[in-house]
Amino acid sequence: MTTATPHTFPTDFLWGGATAANQIEGAYNEGGKGLSIQDVMPHGITTPRADGPTDDNLKQVAIDFYHRYAEDIALFAEMGFKTFRFSIAWSRIFPLGDETEPNEEGLAFYDRVIDECEKHGIAPLVTISHYETPLHLADTYDGWVNRDLIGFYERYARVLFARYGARVKYWLTFNEINSVLHAPLLSGGINTPKDQLTKTDLYQAVHNELVASALATKAARELAPTAQVGCMILAMPAYPLSPDPDDVFAALTTERTNLAFGDIHVRGEYPGYYLRSLRDQGVELVITDEERALLKEYTVDFVSFSYYVSVAETADVSQRVVGEGNIFPGVRNPTLKASEWGWQIDPVGLRTVLNQFWDRWQKPLFIVENGLGAKDELITVNGRKTVIDDYRIAYLNDHLVQVGEALADGVDVMGFTPWGCIDLVSASTAQMSKRYGFIYVDRNDDGTGTLDRFKKKSFGWYAEVIESNGASLSR
């Protein structure tokens, strides 16, 4: 890292934006693509899965990035992006997931996406698996509960590193890996409904993913020696609701359910508190000596994370007023305001997370998701359609100011890729109206719209932040 003086960003800071295949690409049955779990989740995690694809699923078309990627990447370049985070749809490469040969048409699509990035000097940041396990693996194997998934994923990762490893430097193995504990189908392709899933199966799925992540890192070392592999954690700091020592420990226990994933990815072994929690829950895992050795040897190069909300925690059940959160809820913090979707807004929490992760792991940190999901109104100003999204600018400004503080604290931060840099379909609710982008996409929750793109006010604001390397932020 280039040393940052207080409140300035390093000269090699990776400014950019983040997306996921199922939320932008559409073309759900084109190019030889197989079905993924997203094709049976028309309403995100708000309703049980469907049997097969349904017309009310906005992700079938999403924002049609599959056909419009060149135009979209050109817009990212206009903002000055140094990096673009996208995911590869597993079911484009292996339509069923358990084949031995990949689908060339799927591979060729991502060649073209990477070509466009290179044309504009944008470094791709690729998530190997972002909430889109091939449906066949969910239906036939019950997703990550089954150890066979480890081999299927390793084969998939090896194909990606062999094909793109010389062109893609930054890789993430699993999006928000800790969310499998809360959204087993979305995050782990686990078909068994959550209320029927045993704790042992759930934690075995976690273990299988962690082993697969280590095997992907091993594959990268062999096939793409210049690649850097990171884990990706859903960060959600938990503050004690009161100074009562029992509340303080309750908050620590809640945080550790997330921190455990970083501990394992960085240190290569299960921490004692995690093993105790498994014992207390009566969970007995199947872990081979070979797997222990893999976890220990193939640890990550950097830690990436999403950050949207903090929560509170208390040991006093009568005080547990639960609010909304990213994928899973937490106890509401009475000191914070919330977004229209109830996600509590806490810029200082980002500085806290950055300091905590750096102190704990001493690995470079990458903020690969952050942002405000909000309803936007498209209006005409001087003959051009736009959105005056001062609320989004304020949210991102305040969070970036805290990133600057963390840099001044000495934290090694690699970059910042705000979520949904172009409007996309929401993961939790599958709505278009929950917008995060600098670029407005004309598509509505009922599927109507031209899919035309319009620059919001935040487009120019972010371009200036990047151009000035953070100097233009309001402090």
Catalytic residue numbers, as ranges: 369
Candidates 67-75, 138-146, 406-414, 419-427 — which segment interacts with ligand BGP by CB under 6 A? Answer: 419-427
DSSP letter at 49 equals P
Q: Which is nearer to ligand BGP, 250 or 350 (CB)?
A: 350
Q: Which is nearer to ligand BGP, 351 or 434 (CB)?
A: 434
373 binds ligand BGP per the rule CB under 6 A: yes
Min. distance of Cβ 234 from ligand BGP in angstroms?
6
25 binds ligand BGP per the rule CB under 6 A: no
Q: What is the dihedral of CA 9, 12, 15, 16, to 10 degrees?
A: -170
| Residue 432 one-letter amino acid | M
158 binds ligand BGP per the rule CB under 6 A: no
307 binds ligand BGP per the rule CB under 6 A: no
| Among 211, 312, 327, 413, interactor with ligand BGP by CB under 6 A | 327
CA-based diameter of the chain, in Å?
Answer: 67
417 binds ligand BGP per the rule CB under 6 A: no
Tokens encoding 98: 């358990």
3-state class (DSSP) for residue 123:
strand
176 binds ligand BGP per the rule CB under 6 A: yes
Strands of 300-364, DSSP E? 302-307, 311-313
208 binds ligand BGP per the rule CB under 6 A: no
Min. distance of Cβ 475 from ligand BGP in angstroms?
27
C-beta separation of 364 from 412 below 8 A: yes
* Number of CB atoms found within 10 A of residue 339's CB: 18
Min. distance of Cβ 45 from ligand BGP in angstroms?
8
| Residue 44 one-letter amino acid | G
426 binds ligand BGP per the rule CB under 6 A: yes
314 binds ligand BGP per the rule CB under 6 A: no
Min. distance of Cβ 232 from ligand BGP in angstroms?
8
C-alpha triplet 414, 393, 259: angle, nearest 5°: 40
Candidates 112-120, 145-153, 257-265, 420-428 — which segment interacts with ligand BGP by CB under 6 A? Answer: 420-428
Min. distance of Cβ 255 from ligand BGP in angstroms?
17
Q: How far apart are CA 419 and CA 371, in angstroms?
A: 6
427 binds ligand BGP per the rule CB under 6 A: yes
DSSP letter at 59 equals G
49 binds ligand BGP per the rule CB under 6 A: no
191 binds ligand BGP per the rule CB under 6 A: no
Chain centroid to Cα 274, Å, comes to 23
Antiparallel, parallel or unpaired: β 439-441 and 453-455 = antiparallel
* Number of CB atoms found within 10 A of residue 388's CB: 14
Tokens encoding 354: 């950055």
Candidates 51-59, 249-257, 405-413, 422-430 — which segment interacts with ligand BGP by CB under 6 A? Answer: 422-430
Chain centroid to Cα 420, Å, comes to 10
| Among 428, 443, 453, 466, interactor with ligand BGP by CB under 6 A | 428
Min. distance of Cβ 351 from ligand BGP in angstroms?
20
| Among 129, 326, 370, 386, interactor with ligand BGP by CB under 6 A | 326
* Number of CB atoms found within 10 A of residue 424's CB: 28
3-state class (DSSP) for residue 45:
coil
* C-alpha distance across the termini of the chain, in Å: 24
| Residue 214 one-letter amino acid | A
Tokens encoding 24: 């932008």
4 binds ligand BGP per the rule CB under 6 A: no
213 binds ligand BGP per the rule CB under 6 A: no
Per-residue x/- track, 434-463, ligand BGP (CB under 6 A):
x-----------------------------
259 binds ligand BGP per the rule CB under 6 A: no
Provide Rg for the chain, Cα atoms: 21
Tokens encoding 10: 């390093």
Candidates 63-71, 219-227, 405-413, 424-432 — which segment interacts with ligand BGP by CB under 6 A? Answer: 424-432
Tokens encoding 347: 């810029």
Min. distance of Cβ 375 from ligand BGP in angstroms?
12
Q: How far apart are CA 318 and CA 327, in angstroms?
A: 23
| Among 369, 376, 389, 405, interactor with ligand BGP by CB under 6 A | 369
Min. distance of Cβ 370 from ligand BGP in angstroms?
10
Binding stretches for ligand BGP (CB under 6 A): 20, 131, 175-176, 306, 326-327, 369, 373, 419, 426-429, 434
